[in-house]
Structure 1
Amino acid sequence: MTWKIELIFIPVTDVDRAKAFYTHIGFVADFDQRVNEELRFVQLTPPGSACSIAFGTGLDSAVAPGTLDVIQVVVPDADAELLRLRELGVDADGVDEQEWGRFVRFADPDGNSWTLQQLPARA
């Protein structure tokens, strides 16, 4: 059996602001479709990822904007990503060193939290 997570919904209050933020930090804008006056669907993909994020208007969500804090992304170099995010004006936490990896945390304009993890070297 093969399972692939392809899409994660992110609750946001302002679709255009969220799209601008994510494209500013390097996500590719794959799709932006206004189906009708009540429904708009935006999909973006982080660089090198097989999984995309989506948000929009008229999409039901059990999670309030700004409360999502469960997304973790593996990156090759936590220091480089921290530097890149800060150069882009993103308020990212410094590298948190743990035995199980090195972590950088930041939030989108709504307060949804992201964690970037550099995996530890394998023995």
Structure 2
Amino acid sequence: MDMTLEVVILPVSDIDRAVAFYRDQVGFHLDHDTRTEHMHVVQLTPEGSGCSVVVGDLPAQREMAPGSMHGLQLVVADAAAARAELVARGVDASEVRQVAPGDGGTFFGFTDPDGNTWAVQEIAARGRTPLIPLEARGASGS
């Protein structure tokens, strides 16, 4: 049986601030920003990912304390380049460090404005063989 993880709820205290951070600083693609008189829900996806994060004010989202997600993980082909890009966009990222030899043992991290934490792992093979090939991402590359 195939199963895919496609959405992770990310608890935040200020939806607009979270959108600005993840879209403008981290570089996630804004999939949708839906507002009605009863709710506000936003979905953002990292480039090349099949899984998105959702921030909002629906009951399930309000059950988690803002900043309570720790250890979410992104994977990149080049940690040093990814860190440099994030720092250039104003993200306070930790230094890159190797925690184990070989591909997959290099990491850095960052924290969003609410305190949700992210690890960024380098797997160089992703540069050669992305999980979602560019041609499968559509004409825009996202």
Considering the TM-score relative to the shorter chain, is it more than 0.5?
yes
Q: TM-score, normalised by structure 1?
A: 0.90
Q: 2:79, 2:122 within 8 Å by CA — same for their partners in 1?
A: yes
Name 1:118's counterpart in structure 2. 122
Q: Percent identity?
A: 44
- 1:1-123 to structure 2, matched below 5 A, reads 1-24=1-24, 25-34=26-35, 36-61=36-61, 62-99=63-100, 100-119=104-123
RMSD: 1.5
1:70 partner amino acid:
G
Larger displacement relative to structure 2 (61-70 or 20-29): 61-70
Residue 116 of structure 1 aligns to a residue in which SS?
strand
Runs in 1 of length 4+ with deviation above 3 angstroms? none
- Which runs of no fewer than 5 residues in structure 2 stay unpaired? 126-142
Q: Distance between the aligned counterparts of 1:117 and 1:68, measured in 2? A: 17
Residue 86 of structure 2 aligns to a residue in which SS?
helix
Q: Deviations over 1:6-43 (max 9, x none)?
A: 00000000000000111112111101112x33311110
Q: Distance between the aligned counterparts of 1:33 and 1:11, measured in 2? A: 17
Distance 1:120 1:48, change over 3 A: closer
Q: 1:93, 1:106 within 8 Å by CA — same for their partners in 2?
A: yes
Aligned residues: 120
Q: 1:12, 1:55 within 8 Å by CA — same for their partners in 2?
A: yes
- Name the structure with the higher helix share: 2
TM-superposed deviation, 1:120:
6.9
- Which runs of no fewer than 5 residues in structure 1 stay unpaired? none
Q: Distance between the aligned counterparts of 1:117 and 1:103, measured in 2? A: 5
TM-superposed deviation, 1:63:
2.6
